[in-house]
Every structure is written in structure tokens, then in C-alpha cells.
Structure 1
Amino acid sequence: RATVPDEKVSWNIYWPDYKPTEYTAKKVLKNPPWADDSDTTKIKHYNELDEKIDRRSFMGKYDIDQQTNRPRNPKGRTGLSGRGLLGRWGPNHAGDPIVTRWSKDQQDNNKNKALEIILISRRDTGALALPGGMVDPGEYTLETVKREFIEEAMNANPDATKQIEELFKKTITIYKGYIDDPRNTDNAWMESEAINMHDETGELTKDLILEAGNYLVLLLLIFNRFDILINSS
């Protein structure tokens, strides 16, 4: 990745010598179902619904390079062109579930409230993350959030749907926008909708059986400190 000084991140800053490193992962170039074609001239519907693929950005309309027909990251230069590890040109949408409840002491009361949140710890890096994932074409974000929560936090437990159905009836979107993700490039970037499901009384989650998925270790974090780095999906 080429170095980009802070003062030259914006596309509005004239920088004729800017030469980003071109990179798209081999697995993306193989054109799996979740990835676009490498030929950007085939994409005719940026900034709108392209059949089932949502190419709209939560940040509004983004610019398209007229010479390459590649979208420009609305947050500016990244030092990397192409798609990197991301499948879509432009925004790559994710859904992140934020499942919370108040912790209780041994006497089963919550006088000294501390917020508990369900997170995953990736076995390869140890990084904490929300148990979310990418939105499939034609899928609503809430559907993504529910599916990924069952897969990642409950290890696809067949009985899980019944357990969390009530929990997912009351949801609040607490963030919808750009994600500062290391996978972002000049032409492909992560955006997420974070949806909170809060169990105020603890009744809906008291019998929840949490199981780690194949690549994850599950944590129930007592969230009474604010210096913990949590990643998006």
C-alpha cells in the first residue's frame, strides 16, 4: 500500500504523482458468486440497485472515474487501488448485530449495572469483533444480522432461531455508514449497518446457548470500560 499523507487523502487535493499499489486478491479474481467481474465497464448501475446488488452508499452518491469506470472511495485516497480482499466495486455492505443486556450479580440483581455484549474473538488474530457478516444480494440487513448471529455466535444451532426470534422483534439501528476497515481501497470499501437488540430484563437471553463457530471463540464481555477496540464484521 502506497503511503498517503493526511493532507493528500482528499480527492479534491491535486496530486498528479499519486500512484497507488494495484491489488485484487486471487480469490476475488476467480469471480466467486459474492464478487463482481473484474471488467468495470460491465457495471452500468453504480449508485443504485443493480438487479439484486445494492450499489448505493450510506454516505450518498460517490464519484466514478470516467477513464476507468471505477468508483472512488468517498473518504479519499487509501494508497491501494483495485478491490483488495473485497468482492464488490464500490460499497460492500455488512450487517452487525449488537446484542446487549445488563449483567447481574450472584443475588440475581442488577443494582450495579454493567452492560454485557456478545462478541467474537477471531482465532487467527485474537481481534474482538461483532458477530456479523456481508449482506447477500437481495437480502435485508436484519436478515443478515439474524443469520450471521446464528452462524457465528450459536454455531448454526438448529434450535437457535426459536430462541432469538423474540429478541430480534425489537431492534434499533445505531449506526449506518462507512467503516474504517484495513480492507478498504480507492475503489472498494466497507459500509455497515449496526443493529442493537437489547434485552432489558435479561429474560430473553437467560437460556441462550452460545457456541463458537469453526473459526471463532465466543466471548460475553462485561462492557464497563471504553478502551476496548471492537471491529466490524
Structure 2
Amino acid sequence: MFPGSPTNVENFVQEMFFVTQSSGSLALRGTCMATDVASDVVSDALPHPPEGPFHNIDEPLAALSQVAPHLSWIRDGEGMLRVRDDRVQDDVLRIRLQRVHFRGAVHPDDAVQDVLSAPEVRAYFRKNHIEVGLVFRHLAPLSTKGLPRLSGDLRDVTVAEALDHVVRYFPGLWVYKECANGSLRRVMVRVAAVRVVGAPSSGGRVGAAPRF
């Protein structure tokens, strides 16, 4: 993204996380869009995104909240950045799960599917008329031999806590988006990994990023 070039809120925040190697979450309200290959949730346009130079991730997020006042952000006690649209309902993220079984995911979106496959999530979606958006899945590697896998169980956690577990293993941010689609609510959840699992970190803590 070139400085000042049109984008949308999701892409702008994701790029800031990538550049600073930060981890956390992004919850957005958007617009339902459908194409021949996807049922998506598109975040708000950002015709004039904040321009740098920025010295750390706090600066672009503070600037973003000025042009998009419905957005707020905090850093929690574990150093995770939380960017949230105050128009988002957080009921899905607060669903409590008795057990999440991770089945050896080598890609973060497969781990997200393990979370959304929990029976409590499926039952809540049916009861509250929530549909899951569909997009092209990632390309599977030709061989998964030797790749790190997220396996094991979590018990008595919320959906948000389970997604935090995913981005601790696959460093990056989890993105939750929702929109109104007639009588339904469409929800999409994905993970944008900022680096490959097992690759060396840049060494910068959240908020201690290089100039960009």
C-alpha cells in the first residue's frame, strides 16, 4: 500500500500488524458482498488513510481512530493489541466452549475452523440465524511433512480466547467481521499470520516497531 492510497480499514490495520510483527485481534462491522466465488464481509473504505512516517504501531492506530471514530484500540496485559469497531456485536466472541479440539492444523484458518466447529458455536448460529461467509480456501501445501501442527484441546474457553490461542501459535491477528444480510447476520473469521511458525522474530515487542 502506497502512502495515502485508497484502501479499507481491514487492509490498513493488517498492514500495520505485518510491518510491526504484532499480534492481536480486529473486530469489524462491514457490508455483505457476494460474487461468483465468495460470500464476503467487506470493511469500510478508507479513501484517505493516515500517512506516516510512523515510529510504532500506536501512532497509525491513533491516527486511524481520528478518521474512523467508531474504532478504538487497546493493548491488553499480555501485550496483544485489540482493535474494535464499536458497532460490532460481541456475542459470538463470548460463546463459551466446553472443549475445542485442534486436529493438527498446519494453516491458521484450519485452526479457526476447529474453533467454529465446536457444537456450542453451531447451535448458537442456528438459533440466532447466523451464516458463515464463504471465500476461496488457501492452497494446501504439496506436502505437510515436517510442518508445525496445532494440536490438542482447550477446555472452558470463549471463542475469543480460543482464537487468541491460535494466534499465539501462528503469530498474527485474528479478524472477526460481521454484516447484516437480510434477516441473517453473516460472520467471517480468519487469521492473518505475520510470520511463518518457527521463523525467527524481528525481536521487536509490540509497540517497539521499526520506523515505517
TM interval, short-chain normalised:
under 0.3
Higher helix share: 2
- What is the TM-score of this pair, normalised by structure 1? 0.20
Higher strand share: 2
Bigger relative CO (Cα 8 Å, ≥ 6 apart): 2
- What is the TM-score of this pair, normalised by structure 2? 0.21
